[in-house]
Chain A
């Protein structure tokens, strides 16, 4: 009660108008005719506009996958670039339907911020990058005592950085910026000795520096950064659709269903493949979820399976060349595991 009074007082000081009614997210999305997806303002490999202004990256592709599941058409998606600061309010307020913006899953975000993370599309960890040419002899993060460290503000990265240096009883000098491109520019200009963010990000950023070969990523990983898409709390149907889109991508890879062979696979004799692709007789898997029964076919046609998505955006097929590592399927020693679609 007391809290709501404060909210009222706070809100009363400000103001503006418009009007509409609310409904379930799926109905809203269907009525609009597209999925509104929150992405980053530009992080290579995850979500970044290419020269033509099309969004590319693993996070952007995930949005397309959701659109394909709902509409059978991966192009029915609109992207909203969001800063770290705007991302949660944008989701809370209903401005976007899915937040797919290299966002770390934490308990605080699940509980206090009213989000529901659907899974982990990329297992990441925070690392450091330094300019090896300017700092010869530094090959471990533990040698960074006294360094100026560039970091993006308002991220879990900033908190992990503080924890790591405190735990190792080292001093540091945070140089904090609001936007990724500002951090990049400051690091490239030599404002700081080290750059810290998720390791995947470091590899991507390294490519955008003036002289990429001068920079090395240090071996230490100082935190767990499970990155995944999130939706609002309170709409289980929409939560399930987004969550199972992610699992469908994994299952497709596990079953060897690719963008190229998905149509052939529909005629496959394997009951499991038939079930996943919705060609089983009288299947209700898709309609129970609230989408069409051939939703997995649409998803894979739009973006490929998880492995293809990974290779194309961050793996060998991309300039980032990040190894699958722990992002491999569980069958190959990784952590990516999907519950059965049945």
Chain B
């Protein structure tokens, strides 16, 4: 009896050692880590050996070398004497510019399309549907090519530019408009602008408190617009109109002066906006449809006008459904901006690629790419999460 018990316990403990999920889990994890470590060791070993054999220098010190090539679009001062590091920063800034402008345009367009798809107007509904079905189902790279070659083949050469109002020009080399040159005392305008924003924020807060207390509303929007436009305008007048314009002029080859938006940027920006807008439109539609119909009916019953209903009842609730997928669309747009390389807009991947090519530092450049894009993704997600949390708080 006793021996049987011992035997049973013995067998039981042996089985439990094999079958204990915890121990098995630990064993399995050790195996995974070991395999992964072996793979990394093998790859790193090969890489180091390959680099050593090929006599390639490694490390990030090449970033301090003279770049020697020029970049057409740059937000910061850059010439061929600048360093490789600076060239990569120029590319990064270009990526950020196209991503930010693209996100704003795509959001506006996307919201319009999304609302259009739910419109009572048959024609608007159909146009929105066709738009979404066309742009959602073709590759973004193709959309970019389309804009680029569309723009290039339709627009005239610089000599026969289209003259647009306000001294602007449009031709195959891009869109030119007068560049504002701020003179003496223009800092006042900036100060006035900042002041106006602070005041609007303050007014909005006060107005909300008053509404909470008394139920009376206050036209916050119009007051803010008045403040933000009016104050800088006043400052502008009082400081004696410190503004002049640099107009684009015809020269031998191109227009000189003014501000030039290059066709590469235009094509990339329009393509990304149009492409992403189709997805955002679908997200917005799903968001609005996700709000219970009773909500808007109740709102109407309370006597709110359709515009008010949309703004104060439907949209805040739809936002909560919309924000998470919207975030991933914003990230997609940022990542798709790397397609710039196909049409020669100097974004991070394009300038990084040139650096890679001039220096041969493949691993370092790819690491920079990955770190930067991961960083951009994290920043965007963090911002949208914050925004999401703020929207969620509206719920009482």
Contacts and interface: CB of A to CB of B under 8 A. Distances in A.
B40 A190 contact: no
Interface string A1-31: 0111011101111111101000000000000
A209 B181 CA distance: 42
B149 A189 contact: yes
Of B253, B264, B353, chain A has the most CB atoms within 10 Å of the CB of: B253
B211 to A, nearest CB: 53
B44 A11 contact: yes
Contacts of B58: 3-4, 6-7
Interface residues of A, number: 60
B357 A153 contact: yes
B39 interface: yes
Given A146-B252, A176-B344, A232 B54 contact: yes
A256 interface: no
A4 B48 contact: yes
Contact of A162 (B53, B57, B70, B263): B70
B43 A182 contact: no
B71 interface: yes
A111 B57 CA distance: 9
Interface string B170-193: 001100000000000000000000
A204 B223 CA distance: 66
Interface residues of B, number: 56
B56 A113 contact: yes
Of A159, A182, A191, chain B has the most CB atoms within 10 Å of the CB of: A191
A17 B357 contact: no
Of A2, A4, A176, chain B has the most CB atoms within 10 Å of the CB of: A176
B11 interface: no
Contacts of A148: 173, 253-254
Contact of B254 (A14, A19, A88, A147): A147
A7 B47 contact: yes
A198 interface: no
A85 B48 contact: no
Given A15-B39, A189-B153, A88 B360 contact: yes
A213 interface: no
Contacts of A290: none
A163 B358 contact: no
A174 B367 CA distance: 27
B59 A3 contact: yes
A73 B343 CA distance: 42
A111 B47 CA distance: 19
A173 interface: yes
Interface in A125-161: 134-135, 143-148, 153-155, 158-159, 161
Interface in B333-352: 341-344, 346, 350
Of A111, A154, A155, A234, chain B has the most CB atoms within 10 Å of the CB of: A154
Interface string A186-204: 1001110100000000000
Given A186-B344, A190-B172, A154 B70 contact: no
Nearest to A112: B57
Interface string B56-72: 11111000000011111
A233 interface: yes
Nearest to B57: A112
Nearest to A110: B55
A323 B263 CA distance: 38
B109 interface: no
Contacts of B53: 114, 232-234
Closest 5 CB pairs of A and B: A154-B357, A114-B54, A114-B55, A162-B80, A92-B54
19 contacts: A11-B363, A16-B43, A89-B362, A92-B360, A93-B50, A145-B252, A146-B252, A147-B252, A147-B254, A153-B344, A154-B354, A154-B357, A158-B70, A166-B80, A175-B264, A176-B350, A185-B149, A186-B152, A190-B152
Given A15-B43, A92-B360, A193-B254, 4 more contacts: A4-B58, A92-B51, A146-B256, A182-B342
